[in-house]
Amino acid sequence: MNKNLEIEKELLTKPGDTILETLEFLKMTQAEFAERIGKTPSKVNDLISGKAPITVNTALQLEKVLGIDTQFWLNREANYREKIARIEQEEFLEQCIDWLKEQPIKELNEYGYLSSNKVGNELAEECLKFYGVASPTQWKHVYIDNYVNTDFRKSNKLTTAISNMAAWLRMGELNLRKLEIPDYSKDEFKKILIQIKSLAENQPEDFAEQLELMCRAVGVAVIYSKSLSKAPISGATRWISGTPLIQITDRYKTNDHFWFTFYHEAGHILLHGKKDVFIEDFGELENDQDKEQEANDFARDWLLPDSFLEDIEDEISEGMIRKVARKYAIHPGIVLGRLQNLNKVPYHFGTNLKVRINLDYFIKH
């Protein structure tokens, strides 16, 4: 415990000290005081030692017995308890320092979620407020126990990465609060995916804004977030207070990855339960592999079904890729991405067919 806090605590005068001073002034013994106020000697001792607080009823009794106004005793008690609480809070925040060292403080400062950057009590309090929790124990329950399976929770080596994951998830929650989202409609979301595919095909400059607005209209929140350096996540899906939330980063920087991530997350919403949480491309965690495959198949079928391979010639050229893209009404970068994923062409082939993605303009802090 901080010596200064210990000294401050010892120097605090209790309301009971004032009771003792008054008894001495009145030349009244504690036994007589107990008889006059109608409390046992042990109860009086608790009152004087500060173990028992001065309640409104006790303050009224003190006014009658000692002749000092009720409000004085209530103010004296309130001031004492507040000072004790503040000292104890400082002691508690000191105990949070080790937890604080695991957090991505530098990036949270850079993105505007924190204003303090010096490890200490002020930063600990600010970080707890960022997460909306009272202590690291509650933080662990809300962000770790609920999202991370037992095997991973046992590893001390993963604490920093998982703390970064928690911070990234919280960023999505805070941005969700800023949105007015209507009730989710599964049928309308299915319909809107058809229109969204035209965004994937044409790749307009404001695709991210259009996507967010189209999804919001049918009750699905799409949030763009920075990928934290120690939690390189491409996307995540979870339900918060009845609203499906798709959180996406531009980790891979090209349109084929972006659209596959979006449709993959959309698949989770349409195919899987509201209690499921899926965090993509975070090597420290393993999602349900069957559900991941279902979401992969969903994204593949929406963007570019396997039948496109029937149109792929032995000698693959950029012109042929563009032709296939026109046939399937999809961007050539997505055709190229599929071919690369299938090892049909090397990753350096046709790089000009893909569109670079930068979500910085659309990320809200």
Same domain, 195 and 211: yes
What's the pLDDT band for 6 if we cut at 50, 70, 90?
low
pLDDT > 50? residue 152: no
pLDDT > 90? residue 9: no
280-323 pLDDT per residue, tens: 888 667 778 899 999 999 999 999 999 999 998 888 999 999 99
Same domain, 73 and 12: yes
Query: What does the DSSP 8-state code read for residue 66?
Result: H
SS3 call for 269: helix
Residue ending a domain, choose from 177, 197, 232:
177
Q: What is the CATH number of the domain that holds 76?
A: 1.10.260.40
pLDDT, position 2: 65
pTM exceeds 0.85, yes or no: no
Beta-bridged to residue 239, according to DSSP, are: 244
170-226 pLDDT per residue, tens: 999 999 999 999 999 999 999 999 999 999 999 999 999 999 999 999 999 999 998
In this structure, how many other beta carbons lie within 10 angstroms of the beta carbon of residue 131? Answer: 20
Count of domains for the chain: 3
Same domain, 25 and 54: yes
Same domain, 336 and 285: yes
Same domain, 160 and 253: no
Cβ-Cβ contacts under 8 Å for 347 (sequence gap 6 or more): 340
- What is d(CA 329, CA 334) in angstroms, rounded to the nearest whole number? 11
Same domain, 66 and 104: no
SS3 call for 279: strand
Residue 261 corresponds to which tokens in the numbers above?
């991530």
State the pairing for strand pair 243-248/221-224: parallel
Of the listed ranges 10-19, 20-29, 188-197, the one predicted with least confidence: 10-19
Residue ending a domain, choose from 177, 210, 238:
177
Same domain, 192 and 65: no
At position 273, the amino acid (one-letter code) is G
Cβ-Cβ contacts under 8 Å for 166 (sequence gap 6 or more): 131, 139, 143, 144, 147
SS3 call for 238: strand
Same domain, 248 and 355: yes
Same domain, 235 and 250: yes
Output Rg (C-alpha) for the chain, integer angstroms: 31
Place of tokens 């004492």: 80
Pick the closest to residue 49 from 82, 80, 17 (CA basis).
17
Domain residues for 67? 3-94
Q: Which string of b and e fits 137-174 if b means at least 16 CB within 10 Å?
A: eebbebbbeebbeeeeeeeeebeebbbbbbbbbbbbbb
Of the listed ranges 62-76, 154-168, 233-247, 325-339, the one predicted with least confidence: 154-168
- What is d(CA 4, CA 17) in angstroms, rounded to the nearest whole number? 22
Residue 243 corresponds to which tokens in the numbers above?
């609203």
SS3 call for 99: helix
Beta-bridged to residue 223, according to DSSP, are: 247
- What is d(CA 92, CA 135) in angstroms, rounded to the nearest whole number? 9
Same domain, 78 and 113: no
Residue ending a domain, choose from 42, 69, 94:
94
Residue 18 corresponds to which tokens in the numbers above?
């004032």
Place of tokens 């790089």: 351
Cα separation values, 115 from 81, 110, 336, Å: 29, 9, 43
- What is d(CA 25, CA 7) in angstroms, rounded to the nearest whole number? 28
Same domain, 127 and 139: yes
Same domain, 169 and 191: no
Pick the closest to residue 104 from 95, 96, 113 (CA basis).
113
